[in-house]
């Protein structure tokens, strides 16, 4: 069981922010990263569509003798976490509840801002999750699809990215939030800009980081020593995925395999 891989899923390169945290904490683990790049972005799709797409990847993960799945995508967590937990024989962990819990513990004035995709925003999952930990907390939400696309393409340090982040923050700060949840796993790629733009006005919560920290509680002890590995699979073009992802995670050589679905299952290619 110990040496079995942990699957990490996102619509694209957003989940790398979660994987990177998990890899830093548990470098002895084996990870399989699945990116549904062909159907990116999930945030503009219906929850039913997102669910069907994610469950297809889940079927693939289940053929890989995994010991857990991290749904490193807030949108897929909103659409299908409970279904995936029902279908999968190993633990399936979403990013929303760990983020909501940390936000509730962090806020001093009970006013929490949540930036996310449009689908996550509409699903109401952050309102429910935050209310689960504190029903008096006020949630101020705003969808920021433009940041998702920028991050996916590696546009994370530019002036254009800064202006886009500023614009999203301007939609929630007038409502006096003291805590900002980066409720899409693409956003922590722009963490530096977020910290600079938020400044002293609020604390920033990265739900992926909270999820990574909680993993041993759900899966059991994890390996911190060296010897781990990461394999990447994308439903899109592997060369595009490798190029964009390498700019988001500079010190890691990313060589993804392509995954396509066939009538009897899936096909993998280098
Ligand atoms: N990174 C994803 C999330 O956390 C999805 C972004 C998208 O595909 O729109 O919601």
pTM attached to this predicted model: 0.97
Q: Are 141 and 116 in contact (CB under 8 A)?
A: yes
User: Cβ atoms within 10 A of the Cβ of 149, count?
Assistant: 16
Query: Residue 226: its pLDDT value, please?
Result: 84
Closest residue by Cα to residue 209 from 32, 13, 72, 61: 72
Residue for token pair 């919560």:
205
Is there a common fold for 6-95+210-269 and 96-207? yes
Rounded to the nearest angstrom, the distance between the alpha carbon of 225 and the centre of ligand 1 is 31
242 burial (CB, 10 Å; 0-12 / 13-18 / 19+) is middle
Which ligand 1 atom is the nearest neighbour of the CA of 120? 10
Rounded CA separation 44/33 (Å): 22
- Residue 268: exposed, middle, or buried by beta-carbon count in 10 A (0-12, 13-18, 19+)? exposed
Q: Which atom of ligand 1 is nearest to the CA of 78?
A: 10
Give the pLDDT confidence score for residue 253 in this predicted structure.
Answer: 87
- Looking at CATH, the fold of the domain delimited by 96-207 is given as Rossmann fold (3.40.50)
Q: Which residues line ligand 1 (CB under 6 A)?
A: 10-12, 14, 40-43, 73-75, 117, 120, 148, 184-186
Per-domain residue ranges for the chain? 6-95+210-269, 96-207
Residue 68 in 3-state DSSP? strand
CA distance 6 to 231: 10
CA 15 to ligand 1: nearest atom: 1
Q: What is the pLDDT of residue 1?
A: 67
Count CB-CB contacts under 10 A for residue 123: 20
- C-alpha 217/C-alpha 205 separation (Å) is 20
CB burial readout 6-34, b (16+ within 10 A) else e: bbbbbbbbbbbbbbbbbbeebbebbbbbb
Catalytic residues: 73, 184
CA distance 114 to 117: 10
**What is the whole-number distance in angstroms between the Cα of residue 85 and the centre of ligand 1?**
19
CATH top-level class for 6-95+210-269?
A: alpha beta
Ligand 1 atom 9: residue of nearest CA: 43
Q: What is the pLDDT of residue 42?
A: 98
Per-residue pLDDT tens, the chain, 270 aa: give them: 678 999 999 999 999 999 999 999 999 999 999 999 999 999 999 999 999 999 999 999 999 999 999 999 999 999 999 999 999 999 999 999 999 999 999 999 999 999 999 999 999 999 999 999 999 999 999 999 999 999 999 999 999 999 999 999 999 999 999 999 999 999 999 999 999 999 999 999 999 999 999 999 999 989 887 899 999 999 999 999 999 999 999 888 899 999 999 988 899 997
Taking a C-beta distance cutoff of 8 angstroms, is the pair 21, 230 a contact? no
């Amino acid at each position: 069981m110990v040496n079995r891989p942990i699957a990490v899923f996102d619509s694209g390169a957003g989940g790398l922010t979660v994987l990177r945290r998990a890899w830093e904490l548990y470098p002895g683990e084996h990870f399989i990263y699945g990116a549904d790049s062909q159907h990116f972005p999930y945030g503009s799709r219906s929850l039913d569509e997102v669910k069907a797409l994610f469950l297809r990847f889940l079927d693939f993960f289940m053929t890989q003798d995994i010991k857990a799945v991290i749904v490193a995508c807030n949108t897929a967590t909103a659409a299908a976490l409970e279904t995936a937990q029902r279908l999968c024989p190993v633990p399936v962990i979403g990013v929303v509840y760990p983020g909501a819990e940390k936000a509730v513990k962090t806020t001093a004035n009970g006013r929490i801002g949540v930036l996310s995709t449009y689908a996550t925003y509409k699903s109401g999952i952050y309102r429910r999750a935050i209310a689960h930990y504190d029903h008096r907390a006020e949630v101020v939400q705003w969808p920021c699809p433009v940041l998702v696309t920028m991050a996916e393409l590696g546009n994370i340090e530019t002036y254009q990215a800064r202006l886009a982040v500023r614009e999203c923050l301007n939609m929630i700060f007038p409502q006096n939030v003291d805590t900002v949840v980066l409720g899409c796993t693409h956003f922590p790629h722009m963490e530096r800009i977020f910290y600079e733009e938020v400044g002293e006005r609020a604390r920033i919560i990265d739900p992926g980081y909270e999820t990574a920290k909680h993993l041993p509680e759900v899966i059991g002890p994890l390996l911190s020593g060296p010897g781990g590995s990461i394999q990447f699979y994308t439903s899109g073009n592997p060369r595009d995925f490798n190029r964009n992802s390498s700019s988001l995670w500079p010190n890691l050589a990313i060589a993804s395999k392509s995954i396509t679905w066939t009538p009897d299952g899936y096909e993998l290619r280098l």
